[in-house]
């Protein structure tokens, strides 16, 4: 499938700031399941800095914007060819060993419910079946409900609430998988769902299965990522995998608007 992405992030500052520094994980890697045909990132008034590929195989690009500035637009536009590999991440170059992804974070710390879920499959000889079982359990435990949670909701809080969005499903699955001894990580990307913009910017989890490698699980949609998905980058949790991180020098509130359009470019 050929997918076109137009992703705009607009920062507005209550009072002009003296400058902004950002790091972007906004460039998808090419691997067996996806091939980047074109990809351009523009930052209004921005100066492109250094970039590097991190241990997870994601490209991290630095940007600075001099002030005073009251508004910054980060725009991503590109086209990617994708192939359905049943969720298996194949041909992705990275350096970190799977064990590096067993470390918990505040957002993915397991409470009693998540620990019980993970321990329920711990020691299962068939790790792939265990991962599928966990993904199904998280899908049952957390009903998809936009607006039910916020950016800082933890996996344990989403489980207790029984409602959440894709970020919460990913966090909960990661937490339970790590309890089971399965390395797991958060993936940020895009989904061509044909639904809302909130669905177009998507997230899911990857679980490492010995002998097979990393396998994606989208518990929010009860499936493994297929040709409708573009993988942007990964991290220990949503904050670690955030496509844009940055700081602004100045006081006053920051307001953020995000619009994402993902469409089939072959239509």
Considering just the CA atoms, what is the radius of gyration of the chain in Å? 18
CA–CA distance, 135 with 223 (Å, rounded to integer): 9
State residue 262's pLDDT score: 94
How crowded is residue 93: how many other Cβ atoms within 10 Å of its Cβ? 9
Q: Are 43 and 65 in contact (CB under 8 A)?
A: yes
CA–CA distance, 135 with 46 (Å, rounded to integer): 41
State residue 252's pLDDT score: 84
Query: Left (φ > 0), alpha (ψ -120 to 50) or beta: where does 200 sit?
Result: alpha
CA–CA distance, 251 with 135 (Å, rounded to integer): 42
Residue 209: cis peptide before it, omega within 30 degrees of 0: no
* Residue that the structure tokens 């009860």 belong to: 222
CA–CA distance, 260 with 7 (Å, rounded to integer): 4
CA–CA distance, 183 with 190 (Å, rounded to integer): 23
Q: What is the pLDDT along the chain (267 residues), one digit of tens a residue?
A: 999 999 999 999 999 999 999 999 999 999 999 999 999 999 999 999 999 999 999 999 999 999 899 999 999 999 999 999 999 999 999 999 999 999 999 999 999 999 999 999 988 779 999 999 999 999 999 999 999 999 999 999 999 999 999 999 999 999 999 999 999 999 999 999 876 555 699 999 999 999 999 999 999 999 999 999 999 999 999 999 999 999 999 988 999 999 999 999 876
Query: Left (φ > 0), alpha (ψ -120 to 50) or beta: where does 190 sit?
Result: beta
Three-state secondary structure call for residue 76: strand
Burial of 81 (0-12, 13-18, 19+ CB in 10 A): middle
pTM given for the model:
0.95
How crowded is residue 98: how many other Cβ atoms within 10 Å of its Cβ? 17
Q: Which residues, 6 or more positions from 145, have their beta carbon under 8 angstroms from its beta carbon?
A: 163, 164, 165
Tokens encoding 147: 């607006």
State residue 266's pLDDT score: 79
> Of 154, 162, 128, which Cα lies nearest the Cα of 237?
154
> Of 26, 31, 90, 85, which Cα lies nearest the Cα of 60?
26
Q: Are 40 and 76 in contact (CB under 8 A)?
A: yes
């Amino acid at each position: 499938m050929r997918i076109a992405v137009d992703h705009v992030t607009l920062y507005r500052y209550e009072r002009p700031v003296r400058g902004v520094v950002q790091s972007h994980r906004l460039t998808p890697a090419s691997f067996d399941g996806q091939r980047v045909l074109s990809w351009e990132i523009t930052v209004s008034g921005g100066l492109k800095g250094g970039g590097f590929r991190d241990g997870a195989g994601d490209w991290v690009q630095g940007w600075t914007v001099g002030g005073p500035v009251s508004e910054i637009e980060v725009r991503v536009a590109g086209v990617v060819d994708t192939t359905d590999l049943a969720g298996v991440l194949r041909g992705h170059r990275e350096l970190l060993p799977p064990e590096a992804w067993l470390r918990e974070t505040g957002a993915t710390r397991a409470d009693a419910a998540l620990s019980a879920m993970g321990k329920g499959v711990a020691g299962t000889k068939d790790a792939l079946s265990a991962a599928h079982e966990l993904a199904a359990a998280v899908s049952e435990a957390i009903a998809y409900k936009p607006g039910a949670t916020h950016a800082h909701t933890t996996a344990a809080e989403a489980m207790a609430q029984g409602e959440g969005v894709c970020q919460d499903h990913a966090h909960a699955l990661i937490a339970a998988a790590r309890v089971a001894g399965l390395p797991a990580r958060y993936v940020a990307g895009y989904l061509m769902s044909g639904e809302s913009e909130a669905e177009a910017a998507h997230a899911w989890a990857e679980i490492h299965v010995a002998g097979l490698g990393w396998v994606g699980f989208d518990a929010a949609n009860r499936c493994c990522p297929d040709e409708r998905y573009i993988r942007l980058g990964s991290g220990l949790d949503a904050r670690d995998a955030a496509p844009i991180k940055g700081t602004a020098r100045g006081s006053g509130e920051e307001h953020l608007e995000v619009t994402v359009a993902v469409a089939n470019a072959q239509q």
